[in-house]
Structure 1
């Protein structure tokens, strides 16, 4: 080509605009229009050597990870929709999974705290109180993976919650006698039959829990090995665009092994339907038994304390009245764990909050020491609430899932966006489309969950949809199509990078947004810009850091929770010992987290009190309990005479005479014992709260003093279990 021809081509097709991160050079830069005229509009596919390199580096490891997903056998369409949900809506899926992990972790923590720090149960017959409670909490964590029949949830009316009350009796009662299933006359099962049934069922569920944790770890390590190779290749051949885009593909998918790794904690049974039937059979047996007046009377008479017996009689009568409405209805409907089902909240969290507030959190380490009394309060719980309510603390899981997925995608976006031609092109634009769709699906799902009135106003537009609920219509007509579309888009992006579909003039010139529109022939294959290395380091660091933190958290939770699901008692005891040593060694970091939680609780108390005064919050709004905190040592052991008076089943309401604290100590002196379980209810008072001081006189506590007192004593529970009444005024300025 002579100089005149070259000048003509530069004049006609050369780039006259500005450039980003590279110097302007008309002799080497061509516009998108010129590229299409001279090179054509079709893609320049990679050769087999490059395509096979991408396949072995990324495609096969990703397939290996995906094959370790908790899929269900003999359910083709359910498997397809599950994969579409996990891949098409990863933020929402990971949110539900992280929430389930948090709940099962609370069950494991509660089982740990049920016994003394040095007490480890290795009895293979599992006859101890600790073993029984461990079985109950494991059953509760398993129940949390199943959706609840809507007809059962609708029994929660008139300030009662029979569905939750029924589950608490199923899980925690030891003295409830059961009617024989097959009987010719009035016959009862042996006295300990309910506990025996729980024991057998828990063992069956542990043994039927899906194995294969090791293959999940191996597939995850394979992905990490591929990531390491890709990083080494990218920075070893700095500036080679095709290798950088391969690394970006790995960063784009870095959230997938995190999601699959979660299945080692949020584990599904081998046969989810069979486990559901066994759980329903246990619940139904208890339901039919408490419908019998004699069974209820026998159970109530096992309680010695008069007030607790009276409260239990009222509570069990409320449950029995609604048991007939649950007849011929399966309590649990379908397996919903691992983010499979939208708007799944589970049964465990409301029950755990209930029993924490009623008994467990206040007694701390070795809370099961007085087993009979503990079970009484675990069965009673509290009157308000129910199985279907939203805890704002779930937003922490939403934030964590969003940061994990978006950070890995952001790393891929930075790599592709800043590789010349700098700008939003097919690769970085495709990553943006996927991320925006995932966030949009999460936002829509949250909006519909919070706005049930909107769901009720939806109307079907086809005759065949008339029998579907509003949520089912959104499921079939909106979420599933969009998730399938987003999954298909993700697959398209992976295949495009593998085979070079993006090697077109439009894609290489980054014309999706401002800043592109040209190609530099000195940069299109190997970039030599001084900014490339910085952007590649930034993108890789963001993706790898987010993935590593998420994986470390999942592995840590797996180690901390395994003792609850281990079938062999000796192995479980060994695991629990290791967990306790680890928690003790890492307690300083956990102490700091507890302080943040206490500060958030104090802020919530003040804000909620003001909003209730303004009429924005309902007067019946209950502030969440602080929850159980891990500690090595138990709180001061209370005399039984005090324990009988201190924890009333009907906890203090605004204006009630039940005190928040009483003067009591091991020697009967005036050391202060705080009952944090009473604070959420007593804070309903807008003009202050009356408490009982060490000398037996009533004193007035303002709302500000209440939250200061609750926060300060909660913050010092582990460090200083004793506190004299004389020092109370210095801690709580609101106490006058």
Structure 2
């Protein structure tokens, strides 16, 4: 039975090979008049139909199918393996240098699929992370209170986690005001300071990709064009060039995305946190409460298990788009508290009004010196009152569902992501589009479809706005807990509003649709590259650019009379476009990655 099956497979392979198209033989048969003479469909290198078929350099699509058939050129394993290992394999190896972190393998795989299926989403999350670091530094620059710098570092490092902030029982106020909590800030920074940055493996992968791309460009200009004009790797190299600045950017940022380590760091820090009481500060772990001022909603909260907000829990950095709005809200709570206490500190107000202000020294470097510890202690009521907004001072709270400067950062990150996405995909499209037969064909349409689906995935993930809208519309405090829809009830017995039900279902649907499209797009672009290297696209339909030329489609077979200057100019333009956009994105990351921090 097995021998019969093997014989059948070999026979089928021979049958396919025997029916494979050979365009050189087809053209020769057309020149010999096998299919007639006169205007039968023989063309020159510009697509003009000739009367003298012996001078033919190409054929119309109709004559191509008639003379050559509709099949592809034969698959050549040696040629396929060389092109795959030189032009695609380095990029696939570079994917391994993307930052991971979730404990589940499925979430890690999903983050890779999302990155490959939507480079625009990956670039958007990266740009948003960089802009957030700069925004928080500027947001806290007007505050002058102990641990301001530490707060910036802590909150920036927790962009990859489901951050939550609460002031229940004056916990947040105690964390900021009490001198006993200075250790909390310092220790958390130290425990979060684990690297995901440059390594020998990362440098080797990046160097391999850069060298392979350079050789791809050189080979496309100096190699035998007639041998591999439709299968050279320049288009593939430009198509995947977006991955290089994404990997370099994350290596430079070094995101704290290891779920176990981030969770452990915050839990360890919260064990040494102190809270104000009616008498004296005590350790938070000794209080009869499970709440913490700053914590991560990985599993103890019902809300994070809700399917509506699933992506917030996944610590892979590409999901920063889902954490952006709740992270801004949490940061703003901390910033407002720092702003209030900074104003009171500026006016020499003690937490306990009965304790006079102890002057330590004058201004140092344009900032007031650190306040005395005695001016930073008091009862829980005094600490809470010390952190409440006072209309006498110029500090005002930002009242918004979304947060300050949210849409400007979204616009900038979107523009940068669009530039990187379409600068590289557009370069690959240009390279293939202007490769004769010019026009929209199978290869260029594949690249265009990949870019379009990538952009659609990014657009569909505006569902994060709907998630935030539903979450902040709950009557519960903090960053809401939304019950499953089948309960149809809020806490307290009120009915679930129809508008929130619709928004919730729509958000979940859009997110799932986006991930489905990203998965299809990732599979599609890999298949398209393999099709190109395996000669699947070397058939009459694809080589004739039927998509773009329609009834005027033709296939150039003899390249000896072709004017190659316009094609090479387009190739140079494509290389410059892809390389330029990648360079600009890396430049943006390097300029904005390390914002100046306010002095203590």
* TM above 0.5: yes
Q: Is the 8 A contact 2:187 2:269 kept in 1?
A: no
In the other structure, the counterpart of 2:583 is 548
Cα 1:358–1:348 shift into 2, 3 Å? farther
* C-alpha distance in 2 between matches for 1:40 and 1:215: 48
Instruction: Trace 1:244-259 onto structure 2 (pairs within 5 A).
Output: 245-259=232-246
Is there any run of 5+ residues in structure 1 with no aligned partner, and where? Answer: 116-128, 153-161, 176-191, 298-318, 458-463, 562-579, 581-627, 635-736
Q: CA deviation at 1:283?
A: 5.7
| Cα pair distance change 1:414/1:9, threshold 3 Å | farther
Higher RCO structure (Cα 8 Å, ≥6 apart): 2
Correspondence 1:62-101 to 2 at 5 A:
62-72=91-101, 75-101=104-130
Number of the residue aligned with 1:60: 89
1:175-218 deviation per Cα after TM superposition (whole angstroms, max 9, x unaligned): 2xxxxxxxxxxxxxxxx432112222211110x33354453343
> After alignment, is 267-276 or 351-360 more displaced?
351-360
- Superposed, 1:662-673 pairs within 5 Å as none
Distance 1:550 1:23 in 2: 44
Q: In structure 1, what is the equivalent of residue 216 of structure 2?
A: 230
Q: Which runs of 5+ in 2 are unaligned?
A: 1-27, 283-290, 305-311, 347-362, 377-382, 390-394, 474-483, 488-500
Q: 1:558-597, aligned counterparts within 5 Å?
A: 560=594
Q: Write the distance in 2 (CA, Å) between the matches of 1:167 and 1:144.
A: 21
User: How far apart in 2 are the matches of 1:51 and 1:439?
Assistant: 30
1:391 equivalent in structure 2? 406
What's the counterpart of residue 142 of structure 1? 157
Cα distance between partner residues in 1 of 2:315 and 2:128: 13
How high is the TM-score relative to the length of structure 1? Answer: 0.56
Comparing 389-398 and 23-32, the one that deviates more: 23-32
**What is the alpha-carbon distance in structure 1 between the residues aligned to residue 181 and residue 212 of structure 2?**
51
- Between the aligned partners of 1:163 and 1:244, the Cα distance in structure 2 is 62
Contact persistence 1:28–1:520 (CA under 8 A): yes
Matched residue, 1:511? 546
Distance 1:471 1:231 in 2: 45
Equivalent of 1:441 in 434, 451, 457:
457
**What TM-score results when the alignment is normalised by the length of structure 2?**
0.67
1:492 equivalent to 2:492? Answer no
**Contact 2:422 2:451 survives alignment (8 Å):** yes
Give the whole-Å Cα distance in 2 for the aligned partners of 1:256 and 1:419.
Answer: 24
Q: Match for residue 426 of structure 2?
A: 410
Correspondence 1:227-626 to 2 at 5 A? 227-237=213-223, 239=225, 241-242=228-229, 245-269=232-256, 271-279=258-266, 282=269, 289=275, 292-294=277-279, 329=301, 334-336=313-315, 338-340=317-319, 342-345=321-324, 349-350=328-329, 351=331, 354=336, 368-372=367-371, 382-385=396-399, 388-389=402-403, 391-393=406-408, 394-446=410-462, 449=465, 470=505, 473-474=508-509, 477-514=512-549, 517-523=553-559, 528-557=563-592, 560=594
Superposed CA RMSD:
4.8
How far off is 1:62 after superposition?
0.7
Name the CA distance, whole Å, in 2 between partners of 1:379 and 1:400. Answer: 39
The Cα of 1:81 is off from its aligned counterpart by 0.8
**Structure 1 residues 346 and 526: alpha-carbon distance in aligned structure 2, compared to 1, 3 A threshold:** farther
CA distance in 2, matches of 1:223, 1:257: 8
Q: Pick the aligned partner of 2:69 from 10, 30, 40.
A: 40
For residue 294 of structure 1, report the CA deviation from its aligned partner: 4.8
The secondary structure found in structure 2 opposite 1:400 is helix
